[in-house]
Structure 1
């Protein structure tokens, strides 16, 4: 089986493998929330992420990390889980996609990644900041995606990508790309490798739901 979501998810999902190739459809699902904090001068301060995973995967995680068999995760078990997830998703830039005028913005690793269970569902919570100071440009976008295609992380409602306010003169909108249109619009940059097996090509971000903030060009 291909490795997905790092070694961590690949191992836990071993019992969930389908007959079709893994890249055809995701095997793990998560509902996301993104809170973006932007200063009045247009500087991006931080991104706050919350991912809530589906019941089946959450149950698999619980069984794997419940070392004392009490059907719940204590503080140490949650800390071990958070550490494992952090190690796994760090190589994928924590599934974040941040772009400024079409250029990818590098995000610093979060200081803390928290794992928790609420209503029998796994929650992953963390904050991240741009590695270098980031000011909104003509078009700045924020979202999440899994480059391995194994995990479907998405925002159920447009309001799940939240920003308290944008600088004066800027506008915001949530973009939910149509897959066929996304492929057509990016045909020139997609390689044969993407169509044969898109996993690891880093191009699944063209399908990602994102918040776009547009600001007037500076004179």
Structure 2
């Protein structure tokens, strides 16, 4: 692939171009790639958020596209070097989108460190992406405050979701704290955030640069007493 194609590979906003072998064109603001996600949040005994462990399993069509794109030897299987190239490409491409993570405290964005390692694998020809991230600054679960965790693609190109509430796990939940999985109703999300849905929003959505899609993302919220 050229460097230009690499850029579009797993920003997940130009993957249709890999399938067709064409140069990138803007996609409509709806998903073209689908992934099942799992998230495990680890909390320390001091109520500090230690790390987030993400696992994404992509759909069959996209997985097949990835296999064909990176299978340089035509073996229908990626060797260690090809998997390393795939991992590097994904890492580089989604870094500019904060690894599709949304972490907030009382509605304010929390900055996360760049993952030390991102691993891509294709067991049974199914693309799986795994990585861990940590808050850039100490993040403590404080009484009376709400911390939220989830994933979303601001380009609208990829639908990454948790199929079951059990796919969102908290390890080390402190006494006095509880969690709840929130699956926003699209109509309610639109109504609650109508001030943000200006013409600029729709213009940016068409250009695949909008951040408002996080309003519709499944998330887990932790609150403490």
TM-score, normalised with respect to structure 1: 0.90
1:171 aligns with one of 178, 182, 205: 178
Match of 2:126 among 121, 124, 127: 121
Provide the residue aligned with 1:200 in structure 2: 209
Match of 1:7 in 2: 8
- Residue aligned with 1:22, SS: coil
Displacement after TM superposition at 1:197 (Å) = 4.3
Other-structure match for 1:156: 163
The alignment covers a number of residue pairs equal to 211
Q: What residue in structure 1 maps to residue 29 of structure 2?
A: 24
Corresponding position: 1:188 with 2:195: yes
Q: What is the alpha-carbon distance in structure 1 between the residues aligned to residue 169 and residue 213 of structure 2?
A: 22
- Counterpart check, 1:59 vs 2:68: no
SS at match of 1:73: coil
1:143 counterpart = 2:150: yes
Post-superposition CA distance 1:179-201 (Å, at most 9, x none): 11101001123321213442312
Q: What stretches of structure 1 of length at least 5 have no aligned partner?
A: none
Deviations 1:147-191 (A, max 9, x none): 000000000000001112421111110000011110100112332
Deviation sequence 1:64-110 (CA, Å, 0-9, x none): 00011111000000000000000000000000000011110000000
In structure 1, the residue matched to 2:55 is 50
Distance 1:5 1:134, change over 3 A: farther
2:109 maps to 1:100 = no
TM-score by length of 2: 0.88
Matches of 2:7 and 2:146, distance apart in 1: 31
Change (3 A) 1:68 1:11: farther
Match of 1:215 in 2: 224
> In structure 2, how many angstroms separate the alpha carbons of the residues matched to 1:51 and 1:6?
20
C-alpha RMSD of matched pairs (Å): 2.0
Structure 2: segments with no counterpart, 5+ residues: none
Deviations 1:119-174 (A, max 9, x none): 22100000000011111241000000000000000000000011124211111100
Please give the alpha-carbon distance, in whole angstroms, between the structure 1 residues aligned to 2:86 and 2:221.
33
Rounded to whole Å, the distance in 2 between the matches of 1:11 and 1:97 is 22
Question: CA contact under 8 A between 1:100 and 1:140: conserved in structure 2?
Answer: yes
